């Protein structure tokens, strides 16, 4: 088995989770309805504002995970900052 970094496994896990949520949950159907036609989704009873808040919150969480992983990767090899990383 090939050696992959932790980021690859985290990305695959998140992709599987997101695909499952979008395919098998009411929230996922609402996301697709809003993306297809927001006004029609509103007429069908989808709470547009609440669903958008949830979508952006989940996106922010995923970006936060990626940021922590990227930051920890940058400083894994050494405790000294790399060239070009000025902290002043």
How would residue 8 be classed by pLDDT, with cut points 50, 70 and 90?
confident
Predicted confidence band at 42 (pLDDT cuts at 50, 70, 90)?
A: very high
Under a CB-based contact definition with an 8 Å cutoff, are residues 86 and 78 in contact? Answer: no
Structure tokens at 36: 């297809």
Model confidence at 1: pLDDT above 60: no
In this predicted structure, the answer to whether residue 88 has a pLDDT above a threshold of 60 is no
- Long-range contact set of residues 2-6: C-beta below 8 Å, sequence gap at least 24: 6/69
Q: Kindly write down the DSSP assignment for every residue of the chain, as one continuous string.
A: -----HHHHHHHHHHHHHHHHHHHSHHHHHHHHHHH-HHHHHHTT--HHHHHHHHHHHHHHHHHHHHHHHHHHHTSS-SSPPTT----
pLDDT digits (tens, 9 = 90+) for 43-82: 999 999 999 999 999 999 999 988 888 887 776 665 666 6
So what's the pLDDT on residue 7? Answer: 79
What's the pLDDT at 44?
94
pTM: 0.71
């Amino acid at each position: 088995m090939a050696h992959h970094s932790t980021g690859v496994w985290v990305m695959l896990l998140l992709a599987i989770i997101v695909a499952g949520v979008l395919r098998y949950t009411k929230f996922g159907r609402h996301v697709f309805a809003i993306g297809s036609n927001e006004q029609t989704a509103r007429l069908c009873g989808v709470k547009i504002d609440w669903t958008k808040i949830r979508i952006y919150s989940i996106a922010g969480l995923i970006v936060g995970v990626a940021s922590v992983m990227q930051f920890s990767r940058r400083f894994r090899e050494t405790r000294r900052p790399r060239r070009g990383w000025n902290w002043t």
